[in-house]
Amino acid sequence: MLVESDNKLPQQFCVFGKDHEDRTYFIKNMTLSEYLWCYAEKKLTLGQQVYGEIKPPQHPEDFPMLIICSPLQTIERKQVQELTQSLML
C-alpha cells in the first residue's frame, strides 16, 4: 500500500529485491516502515539505501516511481538476506 506523505521531505529507502524482466524494485520505506514494488529513475543494486520520494503512477495499473535525491550506502548482502528472512516470519 502506498502512503503519500504530507511533508515533501525525502524519505529513506532500502532495496530488498528487483525484477530483471520489468525492471521494478522491491523496496522498504525505512521512514514509514512500509514495503512496495516500484520503478526507479536510476539503476539500483540489492541492499542499496537512498533518500528519495515516491511519485504515484500515471496509470492505476502501473507501479509508482522512486525519485532519488541522494544515495546512501549499500548494506551487505548477508544483512539483506537476514532482513528478508525476518519478513517471512
- In this prediction, residue 36 carries a pLDDT of 96
- Is 5 within a domain? no
Residue 82, domain CATH: 2.40.50.140
Q: 23-27, 47-51, 57-61, 71-75 — which one is most confidently predicted on average? A: 23-27
Specify the higher pLDDT residue, 82 or 48: 48
Spatial distance between the Cα atoms of 30 and 49, rounded to a whole number of angstroms: 9
Specify the higher pLDDT residue, 66 or 87: 66
- Is 78 within a domain? yes
Q: Which residues contact residue 54 at a Cβ distance below 8 angstroms, ignoring those fewer than 6 apart?
A: 2, 4, 11, 29, 36, 38, 64, 65, 66, 67
Confidence of residue 80 (pLDDT cuts 50, 70, 90): low
The answer to whether residues 57 and 63 touch, using CB atoms and an 8 Å cutoff, is yes
Amino acid (one-letter) located at 1: M
- Is 83 within a domain? yes
- Is 26 within a domain? yes
User: How does DSSP classify residue 7?
Assistant: S
Residue-number span of the structural domain to which 20 is assigned: 11-88
Report the predicted TM-score, pTM, of the whole model to 2 decimal places.
0.72
- Is 35 within a domain? yes
The answer to whether residues 2 and 32 touch, using CB atoms and an 8 Å cutoff, is no
- Is 6 within a domain? no
Considering its fold, how many domains does the chain have in total?
A: 1
- Is 74 within a domain? yes
